[in-house]
Amino acid sequence: MTLYDIAKPLLFQLSPETAHWLAHGGLHVVDGTVLEAILKRTFVVEDERLEVSAFGQEFPNPIGVAAGFDKTGQAPGALQALGFGHVEVGGITAEPQEGNPRPRVFRLVEDEAIINRMGLNNPGAAVLGRRLAETDVEHPVGVNLGKSESVPLREAADDYRETYERVAGHGDFYVVNISCPNSTGIRELQNRDSMADIFAALTEAGASPLLVKLSPDLPEPAVEDALDLVDEYDLDGVVATNTTTDRPKNLSSPDRVEKGGLSGKPLEDEATEMVRFVAQRTDVPVIGVGGVFTAADAYRKIRAGASLVQIYTSFIYRGPTVARNVNRGLATLLERDGFDSVEDAVGVDL
């Protein structure tokens, strides 16, 4: 029995967004204080076999927090003290945004899933940049760059550049998010010309290391186009995947009818297959995300080609022990299969 077993039923009485801000607020209070050291002793798994080097960054373990959890960049230190090896903060836009009207997050408890249509609510890139500048964090922090709702699609490349410039220098890596299903038209940017314009604008502006986050709903030829451009513009990695607008037939929670992006267990296989598809076609590191709840889930993503793995929905369902449990379990799985390190297991199932 963990503290979260007691807290979870109480948190789940609240609306998902209120529960999120409560949990996030708690982490924000801890962030940068001596309490971090106490959390670290409890949650951080120190094991050299879990260390990963990717796009010039050193990660103490492969398990990170996916974009959208720490949208405001107020808790990367506390999240790393919970055992996460990196945090992707944001998504952010050039100016602050309110996002969509509430309610906009739904728990599909029976399906271990979430549907969200937040719409990139965030405090704006300059605020996030200042926060990161004041934060002393041990492990890598990535910044998820979104498109401003008010900017027409044809001006998207300049808008991404503007967002990047306001946060430049404060992230250890940058992820261009062209796959959020909750921001008007953003996924239409996943075509060759738009992606080329965006990648050109960001690389010219000096965004590096730069990764692109793709949608699991993208048809294979479009993924191939994206990967050609990753190569052409010398991007440093691919994040697969964002949430899906698909609704698998076997969802049973009443809220399955809500509009938005579905995350969690029902996304797992599709996301793993996309990791495999991408890893087969590119040499850059892949961050695998979608439905990872356990060490076995993370291990499947790694074996399918992911160098790093991120988590969002299982953090809500499993609570603060999730990174520790996944990391401990991963070490056991590596040992069982005779691998000396995570890096040795990356892509063995390709």
Ligand X SMILES: Cc1cc2nc3c(=O)[nH]c(=O)nc-3n(C[C@H](O)[C@H](O)[C@H](O)COP(=O)(O)O)c2cc1C
Residue 331, both tokens:
């070490």
Question: Which residues neighbour 193 within 8 Å (Cβ) at sequence distance 6 or greater?
Answer: none
Q: Which of residues 171-200 bind ligand X (CB under 6 A)?
A: 177, 180
Q: Which is nearer to ligand X, 36 or 266 (CB)?
A: 266
Member of 68, 85, 119, 171 binding ligand X (CB under 6 A): 68
For the chain, the 3-state helix, strand and coil shares in percent, each to the nearest 5, are: 45, 15, 40
Tell me if 282 contacts ligand X by CB under 6 A: no
Q: Which of residues 228-247 bind ligand X (CB under 6 A)?
A: 242-243
Tell me if 209 contacts ligand X by CB under 6 A: no
Give the sign of the dihedral formed by CA 55, CA 57, CA 58, CA 59. negative
**Contact of 156 with 198, CB cutoff 8 Å:** yes
Tell me if 128 contacts ligand X by CB under 6 A: no
Q: Which is nearer to ligand X, 36 or 321 (CB)?
A: 321
Tell me if 291 contacts ligand X by CB under 6 A: yes
Q: Which is nearer to ligand X, 79 or 339 (CB)?
A: 79
**Contact of 289 with 239, CB cutoff 8 Å:** yes
Q: Which is nearer to ligand X, 105 or 334 (CB)?
A: 105
How many chain residues touch ligand X (CB under 6 A)?
27
Tell me if 266 contacts ligand X by CB under 6 A: no
H-type alpha helices, the chain: 3-11, 16-30, 35-43, 76-81, 125-134, 156-167, 192-204, 220-232, 268-281, 295-303, 313-318, 322-336, 342-345
DSSP state at residue 348: T
Question: Which residues neighbour 222 within 8 Å (Cβ) at sequence distance 6 or greater?
Answer: 190, 191
Q: Which is nearer to ligand X, 180 or 308 (CB)?
A: 180
Hey, which residues does 114 pair with through a beta bridge? 107, 263
What CA–CA distance (Å, rounded) separates 309 from 318? 16
> Does residue 216 come out as left (phi exceeding 0), alpha (psi in the -120 to 50 range) or beta?
alpha
Tell me if 91 contacts ligand X by CB under 6 A: yes
Residue 261, both tokens:
């992006």
DSSP state at residue 110: G
What CA–CA distance (Å, rounded) separates 218 from 220? 6
What CA–CA distance (Å, rounded) separates 272 from 278? 10
Q: Which is nearer to ligand X, 90 or 285 (CB)?
A: 90
Tell me if 287 contacts ligand X by CB under 6 A: no
Tell me if 311 contacts ligand X by CB under 6 A: yes
Q: Which is nearer to ligand X, 277 or 339 (CB)?
A: 277
Tell me if 213 contacts ligand X by CB under 6 A: yes
Which residue among 180, 210, 275, 322 is the active-site one?
180
Stretch that binds ligand X, among 34-42, 110-118, 195-203, 296-304 (CB under 6 A): 110-118
Min dist. Cβ of residue 205 to ligand X (A):
19
Torsion of CA 154, 247, 107, 307, to 10 degrees: -70
Taking CB atoms, the residue at the shortest distance from ligand X is: 68
Tell me if 62 contacts ligand X by CB under 6 A: no
What number of other Cβ atoms are within 10 A of residue 165's Cβ?
17
Stretch that binds ligand X, among 113-121, 148-156, 187-195, 217-225 (CB under 6 A): 113-121
51 is annotated as an active-site residue: no
Member of 84, 160, 312, 339 binding ligand X (CB under 6 A): 312
Min dist. Cβ of residue 294 to ligand X (A):
12
Tell me if 121 contacts ligand X by CB under 6 A: no
Tell me if 100 contacts ligand X by CB under 6 A: no
Pairing between β-strand 86-92 and β-strand 105-108 as defined by DSSP bridges: unpaired
Min dist. Cβ of residue 243 to ligand X (A):
5
Active site residue ranges: 180
Contacting positions for ligand X (CB under 6 A)? 66-68, 90-91, 105, 114, 116, 118, 120, 144, 177, 180, 213, 242-243, 263-264, 267, 289-292, 311-314
